[in-house]
Amino acid sequence: MSDYESWFYKTTGEKVVENLKRNFFNAFYFETADEASGFICSQISAGMTVAFGGSMTVRKMAIREKATECGAVLIDHGAPDLSSEERLEVMRRELTSDLFISSTNAVTMDGKLVNADGYGNRVAAMIFGPEKVIVVAGINKIVSNEKAALERIEQIAGPMNMKRLNRETPCTSDAICHDCRSVERGCRAYTIIRKRPSFTPMDVIIIGENMGM
């Protein structure tokens, strides 16, 4: 990364962190995913129940593996070999975890979190239930405002996630959102968290690298 890229990411990230704090979030900027990972792992202890929203960012940071090394009890609906019924039950248990870790589809410059979810489990856990929530996002998730956040979901995050999950939706053919009526549509529940929910301690971590979709 060039010096000017590093400067731009840091300056932008720190502005967003400042505005997130104004919206009552605990917010932090880290230049690298490794630094952010170390911070997250410092909050995980043996016996703690740790749950995860579907996130390529968190997966790339190997937080699941590191949480296991710390002796945490994982509640993970993405675990292999779960039946549909078991997966649904795990999703419900995630809502009462000690720590819920996820990413977000977009972060606005004025410090809001914008998401679209298929089942609603991820956005539900971000708002209420777990003892604490950590949201981690790469610099590529930062957008100017709520309108741009929704456009990012339609133009980038939605189509890419549907392709990743092998869904049969129109956007997986042409990478364009059709606001479809497909039964496999993944963008069903939209949330805008403008201020930190009152009873949910939440850290929002901005990383000065491109992370996730």
Secondary structure (DSSP) of 38-100:
HHHHTT--TT-EEEE-S-HHHHHTTHHHHHHHTT-EEE-TT-TT--HHHHHHHHHHHTT-SEE
| pTM: predicted TM-score of the whole model, two decimal places | 0.96
How far CA 68 is from CA of 36, 100, 137, 203, in Å, comes to 17, 14, 22, 21
State the Cα torsion 137-101-38-43 to the nearest 10°.
140
Sorted by where each starts, the structural domains of the chain and their CATH numbers stand as: 3-207 (3.40.50.10420)
Q: pLDDT per residue over 13-23, tens digit each? A: 999 999 999 99
Q: What is the pLDDT of residue 54?
A: 86
Task: For residue 67, give the nearest of 100, 92, 93 by alpha carbon.
Answer: 100
Secondary structure (DSSP) of the chain:
--HHHHHHHHHHHHHHHHHHHHTT-EEEEESSHHHHHHHHHTT--TT-EEEE-S-HHHHHTTHHHHHHHTT-EEE-TT-TT--HHHHHHHHHHHTT-SEEEE--SEEETTS-EEEEESSSHHHHHHHSSSSEEEEEEEGGGEESSHHHHHHHIIIIIHHHHHHHTT---THHHHS-------TT----EEEEE-S--TT--EEEEEESS----
Which of the four pLDDT bands, split at 50, 70 and 90, describes residue 79?
A: confident
pLDDT, averaged across the chain = 96
Q: pLDDT per residue over 89-124, tens digit each? A: 999 999 999 999 999 999 999 999 999 999 999 999
Which of the four pLDDT bands, split at 50, 70 and 90, describes residue 78?
A: confident
